[in-house]
């Protein structure tokens, strides 16, 4: 039985905050301690250490943020969609209230998704480590000015890309930025990373699906600066000579699921169609 839950909600979303409070009250009535927090505020570390579940109320951005906050804990994560697409969420607010008893009883299945890790090493020897659920992106920081990225995979040189950026995505992230840059859609529980160049000039412009144990080394050269982005939410500037090493993370995100896994492709198609219809509707 569940004893403690942390409920994260999207910032600047009154509906998500109100629903978080309502869900907290429902859980408390069922004997579950509930801690409510804004996803981008300082994490409630002690509550997370005690939690048996993290519930995320909002869109995919809230889920991505929570997945990084949880590391290195192995707490399962439940996404409740109050955003636009909800690729990473499992249910609507109405579904959530209908399943409170099952949530409290931990009557669910767990779906593990791999994460991606990057180690940023500057010429002075300073190292920065980050983990993401969607992707690591090395990209230009100034519009109209490409960067040069020397790419090695498993120690062997692939190419020196003149490009807008290089994306290294997980299967989860394959439906995000990587997809818009021409990358393939991968089944979410796969264990491969995919590397996708963005607007590559005179170089191999196709995506590469990597072996699970592969390591990608990216060395950046740019007169106008570059950035490393984690899940499109955290950025760090990088200068000439910085080496970014990307590999599969030792951590995973453990999603709570009530739907069967075979619904992924139909759900994906439905959400993409919904997004396209919204974008093409008058006044969109």
CATH of the domain at 139: 2.60.200.30
Residues 137 and 223 in one domain: yes
Catalytic residue among 42, 60, 150, 267: 60
- Which structural domain, as residue segments, surrounds residue 22? 4-108+258-280
Q: How far apart are CA 25 and CA 22, in angstroms?
A: 5
Nearest to 262 by CA among 187, 171, 194, 172: 187
Q: What integer pLDDT is reported at residue 282 of this predicted model? A: 58
Q: Is 126 exposed, middle or buried (0-12, 13-18, 19+ CB in 10 A)?
A: exposed
Residues 125 and 195 in one domain: yes
Asked if pLDDT for residue 275 goes beyond 70, the answer is: no
Residues 6+ apart with CB under 8 A from 251: 71, 72, 115, 117, 131
Q: Provide the CATH number for the domain around residue 57.
A: 3.40.50.10330
Query: Which tokens hold the place of 202?
Result: 């005179």
User: pTM of this prediction?
Assistant: 0.92
Residues 198 and 268 in one domain: no
- Residues 257-266, mean pLDDT to the nearest whole number: 79
Residues 84 and 17 in one domain: yes
CB burial readout 22-47, b (16+ within 10 A) else e: ebbebbeeeebbbbbbbbeeebbeeb
How does residue 106 score in pLDDT terms, banded at 50, 70 and 90? Answer: very high
Residues 137 and 243 in one domain: yes
Q: Is 60 a catalytic residue?
A: yes
Residues 123 and 102 in one domain: no
Nearest to 229 by CA among 125, 111, 147: 147
Q: What integer pLDDT is reported at residue 12 of this predicted model? A: 87
């Amino acid at each position: 039985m569940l004893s403690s839950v942390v409920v994260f909600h999207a910032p600047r979303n009154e509906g998500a905050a109100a629903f978080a409070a309502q869900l907290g009250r429902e859980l408390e009535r069922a004997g579950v301690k509930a801690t409510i927090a804004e996803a981008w505020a300082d994490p409630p570390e002690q509550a997370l250490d005690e939690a048996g579940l993290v519930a995320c109320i909002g869109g995919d951005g809230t889920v991505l943020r929570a997945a990084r906050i949880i590391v290195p804990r192995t707490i399962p994560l439940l996404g409740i969609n109050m955003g636009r697409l909800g690729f990473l969420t499992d249910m609507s607010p109405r579904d959530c209230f209908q399943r409170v008893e099952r949530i409290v009883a931990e009557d669910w299945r767990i779906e593990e998704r791999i994460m991606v890790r990057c180690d940023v090493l500057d010429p002075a020897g300073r190292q920065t480590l980050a983990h993401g659920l969607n992707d690591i992106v090395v990209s230009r920081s100034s519009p109209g000015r490409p960067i040069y990225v020397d790419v090695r995979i498993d120690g062997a040189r692939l190419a020196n890309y003149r490009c807008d950026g290089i994306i290294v995505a997980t299967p989860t992230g394959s439906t995000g930025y990587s997809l818009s840059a021409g990358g393939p859609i991968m089944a979410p529980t796969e264990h491969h990373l995919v590397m996708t160049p963005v607007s590559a000039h005179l170089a191999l412009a196709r995506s590469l699906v990597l072996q699970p144990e592969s390591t990608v080394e990216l060395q950046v050269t740019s007169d106008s600066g570059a950035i490393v982005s984690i899940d499109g939410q955290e950025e760090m500037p990088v200068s000439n000579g910085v080496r970014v090493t990307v590999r599969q993370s030792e951590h995973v995100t453990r999603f709570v699921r009530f739907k069967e896994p075979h619904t992924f492709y139909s759900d994906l198609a439905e959400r993409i169609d919904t997004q396209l219809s919204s974008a093409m509707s008058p006044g969109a």
